[in-house]
Amino acid sequence: MSQRILTPDYILQEALAAHGTALTSYLQDKGVTTAVPKSQNENDGGLTLTVLGCGTMGIAILGGILGSLSDATTSSTSKDTISEQATPDRLPSRFNACVRSAASAQRIHAELGHLAKFASVKVCQDDTLEPVQQADIVLLCCKPHMVSEILTQPGIAQALAGKLVISICVGLDSKQIASMLPPSVEDKPHCTIACAMPNTAAAVRESMTIISKSVPPLPASTEALVTWIFSRIGRVSYIAPNLMPVSAALCGSGPAFVAVVVESLAAGAIAMGLPREDAYTMAAQMMRGTTGLLLRGEHPALLRDKVSTPGGCTVRGLVVLEEGGVRGTVARAVRETTVAATPVQKHKAHVNVPAA
Ligand SMILES: NC(=O)C1=CN([C@@H]2O[C@H](COP(=O)(O)OP(=O)(O)OC[C@H]3O[C@@H](n4cnc5c(N)ncnc54)[C@H](OP(=O)(O)O)[C@@H]3O)[C@@H](O)[C@H]2O)C=CC1
Ligand SMILES: O=C(O)[C@@H]1CCC=N1
């Protein structure tokens, strides 16, 4: 059985979340004045953000936001990659994390418990209505096929009216999500829907998040808020809605493709006698260094040429890669993924299979 280490701060947060009112009146009866932590105070001017489906990505995003709030509390240096962005008038300070199973609830406690002292984080198991009612912003992080079931639960649509819904669900665009909600009233949409595509590196605040440009554009304050949320977990870029599927393939799925490359590099090194753990660490750090050069503006082709001395060892390895058709294979993987991530074409023919 896994063990959880509960810090005094964490226990206090949990007790306040579960029995805050009772604890406060008990202490007041004893003549003790209680100061509710800022983030627990419903009137602190902060927003409530509810993560609907707080699994791998929900935890990564929430962890990034809480981490950035902890940076703001403990240090004057910001880790923002987009430091010049407009700061929204109001920021999230209370968080609801919704899941179905006890195991998923436990996972949130285990992975985010140490950050809960920087804001109020409530884990909601098998309860979506109240957290959505409490929310100013709803982050839709469940699997795409679950969205319809969740949004059509009794009361959810009413609870979402007038709010900001941000979806990270691959293959769903804002029109499809809107179609699961009541129609707009008097030309006003039921709620504001934004679509974003982060990736799993959000967990280390190194995501490349692509956000779909909304039509009509989001109000400036809403766009600032969406940008703020995702710049907590890495870089942010806005793109035309029709380019979201290819962005999902490159940025959302990309870490899986790169992981295969790292595994392959390590496999070759292990085959030549390098200890397994050393091989994975060396491959990962080598990749990190290479991305540093690329992000500094170096073109990949020039980088490759710089490393391959004529008559040297690298060029011999490169010839093997070309013989194996690595470029074509990787490019085809991105094309195939793009088709699978495209809303209307999701179940259509594979792009790499020639038409019959
Ligand atoms: N994984 C990735 O790298 C990326 C994923 N995405 C997108 O992010 C989304 C989430 O993916 P991922 O985090 O991997 O998925 P996970 O399966 O890890 O997380 C989904 C979460 O949703 C919860 N959930 C399911 N149904 C309900 C419900 N009715 N009420 C409340 N919670 C519910 C699940 O809880 P429980 O476990 O208890 O059922 C689980 O915690 C997907 O739409 C995907 O397209 C986008 C970019 C990258
Ligand atoms: O493959 C998936 O379903 C998700 C979407 C983007 C990355 N992984």
Q: Which residues contact 180 (CB under 8 A, 6 or more apart)?
A: 147, 148, 151, 152
pLDDT for the residue numbered 18:
52
Q: Cα(155)–Cα(85) distance, rounded to whole angstroms?
A: 36
Ligand 2, atom 8: nearest CA belongs to which residue? 253
CA-to-CA dists, residue 301 to 94, 100, 294, 304, angstroms:
46, 47, 10, 5
Ligand 1, atom 44: nearest CA belongs to which residue? 169
pLDDT for the residue numbered 37:
39
pLDDT for the residue numbered 52:
97
pLDDT for the residue numbered 300:
98
- Report the chain (356 residues): mean pLDDT per 10 consecutive residues: 45 50 49 39 80 97 89 50 67 95 96 86 95 97 95 94 96 94 79 96 95 93 96 96 97 98 98 98 98 98 97 98 97 97 66 54
Locate 132 and state its tokens.
């959505």
pLDDT for the residue numbered 171:
95
Q: Find the 165 Cα to ligand 2 centroid distance in Å.
A: 19
Q: Find the 200 Cα to ligand 2 centroid distance in Å.
A: 9
Atom of ligand 1 minimally distant from the CA of 167: 43
CA-to-CA dists, residue 162 to 132, 185, 224, angstroms:
12, 11, 17
pTM, to two decimals: 0.85
Q: Find the 298 Cα to ligand 1 centroid distance in Å.
A: 36
pLDDT for the residue numbered 348:
52
Q: Find the 97 Cα to ligand 1 centroid distance in Å.
A: 11
pLDDT for the residue numbered 126:
92
pLDDT for the residue numbered 351:
60
Instruction: Give the number of other CB atoms < 10 A from CB of residue 127.
Output: 14
Q: Which amino acid is at 249?
A: A
* 197: β partners: 210
Contacts for 183-190: CB closer than 8 Å, 24+ residues apart = 190/157, 190/160, 190/161
Q: Find the 62 Cα to ligand 1 centroid distance in Å.
A: 13
Coil, helix or strand at residue 188: strand
Ligand 2, atom 6: nearest CA belongs to which residue? 252
Q: Cα(262)–Cα(286) distance, rounded to whole angstroms?
A: 10
Cβ–ligand 1 contact at 150 (below 6 Å) = yes
Atom of ligand 1 minimally distant from the CA of 101: 38
Q: Which residues contact 151 (CB under 8 A, 6 or more apart)?
A: 157, 160, 177, 180, 181
Q: Cα(95)–Cα(115) distance, rounded to whole angstroms?
A: 12
pLDDT for the residue numbered 229:
96
Sign of the Cα torsion 268, 274, 276, 279 reads negative
pLDDT for the residue numbered 119:
86
